[in-house]
Chains A and B, each alone.
Chain A
Amino acid sequence: MQLLLQQVVLGLLIGGIYVAVAIGFSLVWGILNIVNLAHGALVMVGAYVTWLLFAHAHLDPFLSLPVVAVALFAFGYALQRILINRVIRAPLFFTLLLTFGVNLMIVNALLVLFKSDFRSVTPSYSGSGFGIASVQVPYIRLAALGVAVVLAAAVGVLLNRTRTGAAIQAVGADRDAARLVGVDLRHVYALTFAVAAACAGVAGALISTIQAITPTAGEPYTLQAFVVVVLGGLGRVGATVVGGLVFGLVETLGQTMVPGLGAGWANAIAFAILVVVLIARPQGLMGRRP
């Protein structure tokens, strides 16, 4: 019981990380109809920017969040405007191939720049936490969950309460109609991708505080983001939050409470969840039946 409670808390906390990773992924998928296989690579770019600021400017990882977000926003805008806009009307599979190519380029550019050494961001308070009735809660993971929730709320406000958000949603609903009413498609595509990249960067900053980072460490997060979005249901920020928390919970409990499984089974568990959801409830936990 004690162990179960502890694992539930840890699962929800790690779920916060998955929420942060999946928000941007869900945005690009829902609006641009692109499954961005370079998403995990963007997460790692965010993690390395955080590490650079921490190692060289001694900036606290949570204070560097705005810097990371702005840097990734600019990078994402350029990436979409220059490259991905070129295939936006091509068959689905081509956008997958292109983003996979972008993923290869980013990951290997990171390998050139940073080598494959393990780097970590360790502020003075990492490793400490507090206990409620002998359940341990690490400060950093709690803060990461808080940031993820704030990030989700911010994206929700941007999409639903601003003129830019209205334009983004209009493009997601019907590209041609949006263009007819005067939306600059190329700009909105790039803007959407830029917001998603900024979210990925923030997620990367959070990840850099809880695990050692390498250029290839982002790759599992792409598959996990996909599972989270499928699990929650595509199209709404709230669904992504639910999907992320449930995924974190199921993964943690699966690894620790099921005999015979362990940390080496993370991908297999994610995949099993994916297949079950796709077959049993294709619209996701929170989605409406189309």
Chain B
Amino acid sequence: MEQVQVPPPPSPPGTAPAPRARVNGGRLRRPLLIVFLLAVLLVLLAPLTTTDQADSLGVPVLVDRSQIRILTTVAMFVVMASGWNLVGGLTGYGSFGNVAFFGLGAYTCAVAVDVHRLHLPMAAGIAFAPLVPAAFAALVGLALLRLRGHYFAIATLGTAVAVGEVVKNVDYLGGATGLFPPILHSADLLFLYLMVGAALLAVIVSRLILRSRFGYGLIAIRENEEAASVIGVNTTAYKVGAFTVAAALTGLAGGVFAVWNSFINQELGFSLDFNIQMILMAVLGGAGTLFGPVLGVIVLEFLLQNVAGRSDVAVYAQIGLGLLLAVTVIFVPRGIVDFFGGSSRLSLAHLRRALRETSA
């Protein structure tokens, strides 16, 4: 997972800049342009809030409800995988429980908009959604981030399971039945925009972090935490900071999901499926890189929708997911992004080498 290219030190005057830097710049600029264009497109489309309007105007894609659902799901996982990437990829703390933040965000929003509870407008619910998970992450992060390796992974997994169980046992939060945020019939495209907006926000935040002092500090922690501490990185603050930002982003996705789905319970909010999918997407695409998680989401969603999703029995999809995990971990541990301009090519020789590097 060492593939974030730390830019080479500035070359002394008179020498040509390192070719690597130029390649990286060119490689990053085009996807960033796409991010920008998507943002513009989002602003332009914003007045168009229902599929009926889209139908009457003849806008493609936005008239097909199943396409909209898939696009919204893709955007949702982009948020979650990018959020996980900040902790698991950039900081090197392999969290196994980020779905706790998703669930907390979803429940925060659901409680806020519920008619029998706070009964606030939807915008307020979504605005509150990142706050509770972020506060929770800052609090438990102080304890959990003292752990490393297996201990950290299982402790985070335990957090997710335990928080889900507590939520299920509290009547105010709907207990085992769950909560039902009001259904918004009048604007079925709105949730696509909201989720894509959240995804763009996640990518932009990741990009800002990657190129900041904060981001370099996180990478330093991943490479060698003691050394990072010695050179003056406040490791606790940095780690908890990354955990909190990841929680806020993931919680935002959860909040939008709650109103989009207009139903949330423990199984949905703290779904271990979502939990593992966001990790698999980030690792499959390329953990620690900016666009790796995005690529991973697109590839995995494509596979799930077209290969696994087509078989009527969900168990085969699950077996396929397990198989994909195994294949990814064994053959493409650096992620797909690595094949584009990275050190690896998708070739039999490379796959064999990857296998040899980690085998007994």
Contact = CB atoms under 8 A, between A and B. Distances in A.
B269 to A, nearest CB: 15
B279 interface: yes
A108 B318 contact: yes
Interface stretch (A49-57, A82-90, A239-247): A82-90
A16 B80 CA distance: 40
Interface residues of A, number: 46
Interface string B115-129: 000000000000000
A101 B324 contact: yes
B154 A226 contact: yes
A182 interface: no
B136 to A, nearest CB: 14
Main secondary structure of the interface of B (DSSP, over half): helix
B359 A104 contact: no
Interface string A82-104: 01011111111110111011111
Interface in B270-285: 276, 279-280, 283
A40 to B, nearest CB: 12
A105 B323 contact: yes
Contacts of B166: 268
Contacts of A279: 143, 146
B319 A94 contact: no
A267 B276 CA distance: 19
Contact of B150 (A92, A112, A186, A264): A92
B230 interface: no
A88 B359 contact: yes
A88 B240 CA distance: 30
A275 B355 CA distance: 36
B88 interface: yes
A267 B150 CA distance: 18
B133 interface: no
Interface string A179-211: 000000110010000000000000000000000
Nearest to B93: A93
A109 interface: yes
B360 A104 contact: no
Contact of B319 (A97, A105, A227, A264): A105
Interface string B1-38: 10000000000000000000000000000000000000
A42 interface: no
A230 B316 CA distance: 34
Interface in A61-78: none
Contact of B165 (A35, A185, A226, A268): A268
B332 to A, nearest CB: 11
Contacts of B143: 275, 279
Given A85-B359, A112-B315, A185-B360, A96 B322 contact: no
B149 interface: yes
A22 interface: no
B313 to A, nearest CB: 8
B333 interface: yes
Nearest to B314: A108
B161 A267 contact: yes
A144 interface: no
Contacts of B139: none
Contacts of B346: none
A93 B94 contact: yes
A105 B159 CA distance: 24
A264 B165 contact: yes
21 contacts: A83-B330, A87-B329, A89-B358, A90-B357, A91-B1, A92-B94, A93-B94, A98-B329, A100-B325, A101-B324, A101-B326, A103-B322, A112-B315, A112-B316, A189-B360, A223-B154, A226-B154, A227-B158, A264-B168, A268-B169, A272-B162
Given A97-B328, A275-B158, 9 more contacts: A35-B153, A35-B154, A86-B358, A96-B94, A104-B276, A104-B322, A112-B315, A223-B154, A275-B155
Interface of B: 1, 88, 94, 96, 143, 146-147, 149-151, 153-155, 157-159, 161-162, 165-166, 168-169, 276, 279-280, 283, 313, 315-316, 318-319, 321-326, 328-330, 333, 355, 357-360
